[in-house]
């Protein structure tokens, strides 16, 4: 059985669906502080806080856990700047408890949700795994600390791990009724689609004077189902005995904020009011992945690389939300 922490959240629920579709047994550990019961249908759920070592160990004592996929964390860069305590607390401490229980119960494999935020301001584009990791936010730093912990537990106790550095997770399952639902929502595509639905007055574009082709920030949008598949491939690689790996997960295509808004207009056919605002501190002009390593070593081929397709799946979800 695979223990999936944070499995009731956005990316975790798509991974749970992927594993269930290929016949795997999963146990979700989530306290639903940000996740949704409905996102995992009838998958087994242990409701508990990963900051509590006894709760984490209970999962290992009660169920036959074979591998761990660890999504649970806080994810907002600006919030991490305002409240670093929350981010070092909730993003680092749970991994200590998980790794300690894994060692205690002889569970070897863990796939970890890392982030392109571990790279900080890019020194070159596209960003490959050799790029120096110099995070510029407590969020990015918390993920880098976790990667360091995985390396140390790997060396000391033989834990096998894959750190998956996602770029911008986006889209929704094309036919299962699951999708992105954060409160407050901070991600661009749902914000623009909510403006298209009239749930927001406007979309603010933070910075139109960046050194990019249209002046707005460029990001790499990767479909959440493609992320889900990468976790399964990474886990299979660990099961085959490979002991470690760090992988960038992105589409290798940059899309600007204005291009995303144009795609949302194309897909929805709705009017979307846009307002130009000032730059936000800490937003690099461009973040685009080089994902060759994941493609070569994991055999990963994103199935939904096209921005319009990503937006179309997100729009279908946004217009039929269940939670």
Q: Which of 67, 80, 90, 268 binds ligand NAD (CB under 6 A)?
A: 90
Q: Which of 67, 163, 168, 248 binds ligand NAD (CB under 6 A)?
A: 168
Q: Where are the beta strands (DSSP E) in the chain?
A: 2-5, 26-29, 45-46, 67-70, 109-115, 160-166, 168-170, 203-206, 218-219, 221-223, 244-249, 255-256, 274-277
Nearer to ligand NAD, 51 or 151 (CB): 51
The distance of closest approach from Cβ of residue 70 to ligand NAD in the complex, given in angstroms and rounded to an integer, is 7
Coil, strand or helix: which one is 205? strand
Kindly report the three-state secondary structure assignment for every residue of 91-129: HHHHHHHHHHHHHHCCCCEEEEEEEHHHCCCCCCCCECC
73 binds ligand NAD (CB under 6 A): yes
Rounded Cα gap, residues 172 and 175, in angstroms: 9
Nearer to ligand NAD, 220 or 262 (CB): 220
251 binds ligand NAD (CB under 6 A): no
Residue span binding ligand NAD (CB under 6 A) among the ranges 9-17, 257-265, 270-278, 296-304: 9-17
Rounded Cα gap, residues 88 and 85, in angstroms: 5
Nearer to ligand NAD, 18 or 166 (CB): 166
Residue span binding ligand NAD (CB under 6 A) among the ranges 66-74, 148-156, 201-209, 281-289: 66-74
Nearer to ligand NAD, 87 or 315 (CB): 87
Q: Which of 30, 129, 246, 318 binds ligand NAD (CB under 6 A)?
A: 30
What are residue 169's DSSP bridge partners? 222
Rounded Cα gap, residues 234 and 161, in angstroms: 9
50 binds ligand NAD (CB under 6 A): yes
Residue span binding ligand NAD (CB under 6 A) among the ranges 57-65, 70-78, 230-238, 272-280: 70-78
Long-range CB contact pairs, 62-65, < 8 A, 24+: 63/1, 63/3, 63/27, 64/1, 65/1, 65/2, 65/3, 65/27, 65/105, 65/107
Q: Which residue is nearest to ligand NAD (CB)?
A: 9
Give Dmax (Cα) for the chain: 57
Active site residues: 139
Coil, strand or helix: which one is 213? coil
166 binds ligand NAD (CB under 6 A): yes
Residue with tokens 């146990």: 27
43 binds ligand NAD (CB under 6 A): no
Residue span binding ligand NAD (CB under 6 A) among the ranges 98-106, 118-126, 163-171, 267-275: 163-171
94 binds ligand NAD (CB under 6 A): yes
Nearest to 10, CA basis, from 129, 261, 197, 186: 186
The distance of closest approach from Cβ of residue 203 to ligand NAD in the complex, given in angstroms and rounded to an integer, is 18
Residue 177 is classified by DSSP as S
Q: Which of 10, 60, 153, 317 binds ligand NAD (CB under 6 A)?
A: 10
Q: What are the residues binding ligand NAD (CB under 6 A)?
A: 6, 8-12, 30-35, 49-51, 71-73, 75, 90, 94, 113, 115, 166, 168-169, 182
């Amino acid at each position: 059985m695979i223990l999936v922490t944070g499995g009731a959240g956005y990316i975790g629920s798509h991974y749970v669906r992927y594993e269930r579709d290929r016949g795997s047994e999963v146990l979700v550990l989530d306290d639903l502080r940000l996740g949704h019961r409905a996102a995992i249908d009838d998958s087994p759920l242990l409701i508990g806080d990963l900051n509590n070592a006894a709760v984490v160990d209970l999962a290992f004592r009660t169920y036959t856990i074979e591998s761990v996929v660890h999504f649970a964390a806080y994810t907002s860069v600006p919030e991490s700047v305002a409240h670093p305590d929350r981010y070092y607390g909730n993003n680092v401490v749970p991994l200590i408890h998980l790794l300690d229980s894994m060692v205690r119960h002889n569970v070897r494999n863990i796939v970890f949700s890392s982030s392109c935020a571990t790279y900080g301001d890019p020194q070159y584009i596209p960003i490959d795994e050799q790029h120096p990791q110099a995070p510029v936010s407590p969020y990015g730093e918390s993920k880098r600390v976790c990667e360091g912990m995985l390396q140390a537990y790997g060396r000391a106790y033989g834990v096998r791990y894959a750190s998956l550095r996602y770029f911008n997770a986006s889209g929704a399952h094309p036919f299962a009724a699951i999708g992105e639902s954060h409160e407050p929502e901070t991600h661009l595509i749902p914000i623009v689609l909510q403006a298209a639905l009239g749930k927001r007055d406007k979309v603010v574009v933070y910075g139109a004077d960046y050194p990019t082709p249209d002046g707005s920030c460029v990001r790499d949008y990767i479909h959440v189902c493609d992320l889900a598949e990468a976790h399964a491939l990474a886990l299979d690689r660990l099961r085959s005995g490979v002991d470690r790996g760090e992988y960038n997960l992105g589409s290798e295509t940059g899309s600007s904020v204005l291009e995303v808004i144009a795609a949302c207009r194309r897909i929805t056919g709705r009017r979307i009011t846009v307002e130009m605002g000032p730059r936000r501190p800490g937003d690099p002009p461009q973040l685009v992945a080089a994902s060759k390593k994941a493609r070569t070593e994991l055999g990963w081929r994103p199935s939904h690389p096209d921005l319009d397709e990503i937006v179309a799946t997100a729009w279908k979800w946004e217009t039929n939300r269940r939670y």
